[in-house]
Structure 1
Amino acid sequence: MKRALVFAKADTKTLNEHLQPLRRYLHAQVGRPWDKVWSDIAAGLRVTSTVQQHVRDHVFDFVARNVFLRAGEPWLREFGRERPLRESYRELWVDPRTGILRHNRHRVTWRQTLRQRRERTERALQARMVPGPGDVQYHLLADGAWWEVVLAREPEAGPPDASPPMDVVLSSGLAALPPNEFYGQDGVYASRKRQLSRREAARLGLRRQNLGRKRP
């Protein structure tokens, strides 16, 4: 088996230039015993070379070693915690039953994670906020009632000692999210709020939730 000679000239290149060859090499070893793969890598890299040692250290950014099975599902133990292998960003893993290097086919990339997070945020926003006319939004707040909220633009930067405008929703304890996430846009705050009556909420198609909390 060809050793990891793609790293033999690592002293003349930057670390990043060698991570992609390392990644390709590791993927080409899928199906082999991990002990043999690691032996080949160790033989092809000199510990006396700083760059080559860094390349060796990055092997485990791609390969999950401390894997065990829980109810038939691969789990990873690292950093003092345990989690399903499918939640790991590592592209490859060592099967604890056979010692064979395998693809992590259920891996979720950082890009996918960010997209899923944005989608969850958007769904949550749609569930608790309905746009109204102009600067009006209708919000389902922490007391289980719908409120009419009027937004205003944050003022331009003023004197250092100037007090920021008070957000009448966030300051009331009826919401805890950051303003940009809560209102779905940047640079705004709630200048006024008014609780909708049941009739108003029904007319707008908004359903009240009973969360067992009274309005302050």
Structure 2
Amino acid sequence: MREDMFKVIVERPRCTHSNIYKGDGRKFRNSEDRPARIGMKDGYGHRKYLNENLAPLKRFLEQQVNRPWDKVYSEIRAAIDARNTVKQHILQHLDNFVAIETRWEGDRKEGRVLARYTNWSGRYVELAESQAEMFVHPLTGILLHNRLRARFKAERNGKRHTSERDKVRRIISDRVQLHLVNDVWYEVTLDILPAARVVLQHVNGAAEKTRVCDKRWDVIRKAWVTLENKARVAPAGSNQDYYGHVSLYALKKRQLSSREIREHQLNVPQQKQKARKGLLFFQRTVI
């Protein structure tokens, strides 16, 4: 670890500007109102201030993966003196990236690693639930990547994406889907884009083979799409985002009735709910 790591992490450079002071840059020290005796730092309005830039510390720890944690920690303590309050603050941030307190549960062959959830919690959780991106193996003492956390995070984001997608799309069958477009639910019939075909063209008296993809009109995206460009011509997204496959497009659509919306338990936009309640109240008042 570099010796000035604590400066990189906790100190920001002094803000300066070429026109911030007049003369030699010591406006207060050269004024007539200054006292007879002043300190070395008096008169400088733009001083260094503390900050938390933990990216260099994280990069250093990632470079030490597959090394014994005792050696890594020794290098850190050689550059950072815990007797200094500012430097000690860096040591407290190690737990943000490394699960240091770990233990082994079960036998050596089929056991698993548990990590302490937080510093103030005595609960031990699996590595997938740990917030640290690295951990110290309890048996070998080696610093390792927490790959289970990355996998768990990807699965969680995938479930979140699926939940958000279900708010605007429901899959009924391979060729039928329900889509929410401009606060209106439609039953969309899908079809497969035609495959590319080879056409012979005569250019300057020579026959050349050209790959041609027929266009189809997508009624949801309101754009001409082909299998070649995979419907990237529309700025809203791709076929994969809309229909779950690059070779599908919306052939036709039909607006759903209120009864069908209730049967499929589809979410109705809040504005339409308010408008419907207002209409029912108006009808009851008139009657």
- Which bin holds the TM-score, normalised by the shorter protein? 0.5 to 0.7
Shift of residue 85 of structure 1? 0.5
Secondary structure of the corresponding residue to residue 30 of structure 1 = coil
CA distance in 1, matches of 2:113, 2:155: 20
CA distance in 1, matches of 2:137, 2:92: 21
Describe the shift of the 1:82–1:48 C-alpha distance in structure 2 as closer, same or farther (beyond 3 A).
Answer: closer
Shift of residue 87 of structure 1? 2.9
CA distance in 1, matches of 2:3, 2:127: 30
TM-score, length-scaled by structure 1: 0.53
1:45 corresponds, among 80, 87, 109, to 80
> Residue 33 in 1 paired to residue 72 in 2?
no
C-alpha distance after superposition, 1:96-149 (max 9, x if no partner): 111111111232289746632422414665379953526847457xxxxx3687
> Residue 16 in 1 paired to residue 14 in 2?
no
> Residue 65 in 1 paired to residue 100 in 2?
yes
CA distance in 1, matches of 2:149, 2:264: 41
Describe the shift of the 1:51–1:102 C-alpha distance in structure 2 as closer, same or farther (beyond 3 A).
Answer: same
CA distance in 2, matches of 1:187, 1:50: 55
1:55 corresponds, among 90, 93, 110, to 90
- Letter of the structure 1 residue corresponding to residue 11 of structure 2: T
TM-score, length-scaled by structure 2: 0.42
Specify the structure having the higher radius of gyration (Cα). Answer: 2
Describe the shift of the 1:100–1:38 C-alpha distance in structure 2 as closer, same or farther (beyond 3 A).
Answer: same
**For residues 61-210 of structure 1, what are the structure 2 equivalents within 5 Å?**
61-70=96-105, 71-78=110-117, 79-108=121-150, 112=154, 115-122=157-164, 125=167, 126=170, 130=178, 131-132=185-186, 133=255, 136=258, 138=260, 146=263, 182-183=267-268, 187-189=271-273, 191=276
The aligned residue for residue 169 of structure 1 is none
Task: List runs of 5+ in structure 2 lacking aligned partners.
Answer: 13-49, 179-184, 187-254, 278-287
Shift of residue 4 of structure 1? 4.8
Describe the shift of the 1:102–1:134 C-alpha distance in structure 2 as closer, same or farther (beyond 3 A).
Answer: same
More RCO (CA 8 Å, sep 6+): 1
Shift of residue 22 of structure 1? 0.5
What is the percentage of aligned positions where both structures have the same residue? Answer: 30
Describe the shift of the 1:47–1:77 C-alpha distance in structure 2 as closer, same or farther (beyond 3 A).
Answer: closer
Count of aligned pairs between the two proteins: 151
Shift of residue 73 of structure 1? 2.9
* Higher mean C-alpha deviation, range 105-114 or range 64-73: 105-114
CA distance in 1, matches of 2:128, 2:153: 15
C-alpha distance after superposition, 1:147-202 (max 9, x if no partner): 687xxxxxxxxxxxxxxxxxxxxxxxxxxxxxxxx54x56453747xxxxxxxxxx
Q: Is the 2:6–2:90 contact (alpha carbons within 8 Å) kept by the matching residues of 1?
A: no
Q: Is the 1:136–1:148 contact (alpha carbons within 8 Å) kept by the matching residues of 2?
A: no
The aligned residue for residue 7 of structure 1 is 5
Describe the shift of the 1:15–1:98 C-alpha distance in structure 2 as closer, same or farther (beyond 3 A).
Answer: farther
Task: List runs of 5+ in structure 1 lacking aligned partners.
Answer: 141-145, 150-181, 193-216
